[in-house]
Structure 1
Amino acid sequence: GALWVAMVFAGMLGANRALLAERDNGAIRGLLLSPLDPGTLYAAKLVAALMFMAVAEVGAVILMVLFFNLEFDASIARLAPILALGAIGFSALATLLSAITGRTRGGDMLLPILAVPIFVPALIAGVKASAAALAGIPLDSMGQWLKIMVAFDVLFVTAGYLLFEHVVGED
């Protein structure tokens, strides 16, 4: 659970920072006027937030192994795809919601209020799958949790790609 909480906080920080620079100096307007597809712009922002989360996750896993006296073995390696699915889903959600909340006053405070409740099903699935992976349970027995995470990823990556133009567009 602590690992996933760290991932959520890193994801919110990364998504906010991915769009903040363009909002502050008005560069988002120039990006929207360029011949660049808005979906591609969303994908770039998603990758930036995902890279930030990946670095934070590696640090969190190392700290988790050290503080909980775990061993660097196959169970840690089995944790990687579960964390990757969670990072992709949360990055997609947070990037889309960051584009929405960035247009409002106090959007930095509004993002966690919106993102965390929406991410709860994937969060529960990620915690359950992580616990099973660390316990050494085979991957096929945690298939239901992985399916929830994959569905969450597909839903929000697709929604973000399709809706980003409308969400970030200037009035």
Structure 2
Amino acid sequence: MTAQCSILNANIAFFFVLHSGGWQYGTDMASSDPLYRQATTACLAAIVLLQIVNVFLCRSAVRSAFTTGLGGNSLILWGVLLEVSLILLITYTPWGNLLLGTAPLPVAVWLFLLPWALGMIALEELRKLLARRRLVIPKPCEDCPVCPCPCPPARGAGGGADNGLSGRG
């Protein structure tokens, strides 16, 4: 789902910049046009921003990114720092603009991208919440020294525990 959000947001960012600059559908633009370059830069920035969000969301399939935290893996943090540095160099330096055909983005574009990143966080956190609610956690058995485990229920009334897998209510 996060990949689809990234693709959708990148395209929306591209057309947001074009529309904000006065472009109308059907009008041809040269690849050297500053507005076109700014739109492609917005598309790239959207992908980078959402991939940064995604790397923190994907650290666990069910645990919230807020409980997992930002630390714990210095390689991820260094990678994010490198990614942020590169997008800023590509976007806001003359040689980055010349080499990669980009153009500086106004603050309005970054403000436009922010709700999309927050929306991606909200959707993924909702998915994880629903996944946690469906997660079957075995209850400890009374006589088992290694619980929680998927021990078969003990015979007799009151023996063993229902681990959610036995079919008993």
> What TM-score, normalized by structure 2, do the two folds share?
0.34
Structure with max Cα Rg:
2
Whose RCO is larger (CA < 8 A, sep 6+)?
A: 1
